[in-house]
Amino acid sequence: MHPLSIFPGLFTYELIAPLLLRLAVGLYIIYLGKNRYKKTFGPASLIYILAGIFLVLGFYTQIVALIGVIVLIFDFFVDKEKTDISQEKSALYILAGIIFLSLLFTGPGFLALDLPL
């Protein structure tokens, strides 16, 4: 059966998409944790940094994605109460949350330390 796609040969590399999403959101979360660590030291900054490292390595990806969604929602509402956040920052929160949910459902992808069950 031929799927309805312009480039059906690219489906061979379907495990690269979660890898790219995992790396992008992992590096973004490490960046957020580093900035938060510079401002105020706290457990939230360590959670961000550890979650980012785990995502980049692909270690416990689905658990970290669930934790990431919860932390992002909490952080979004805390930032919204403290200051008026820009549209760009809120868009980044939404995109990171969608990537976390995608990783929760699809798994870690290629080059991950998670073992398939």
> CA–CA separation, 44 vs 74, rounded Å?
10
Give me the pLDDT at residue 2, please.
Answer: 58
Residue ranges in the chain modelled with pLDDT below 50: none
Query: What are the residue ranges spanned by the domains of the chain?
Result: 16-106
CA-CA distances (angstroms) from residue 67 to 39, 46, 73, 77, 81?
Answer: 22, 13, 10, 16, 21
pLDDT of amino acid 20? 95
Give whole-number Cα distances, 101 to 1, 6, 69, 82, in Å.
30, 27, 7, 26
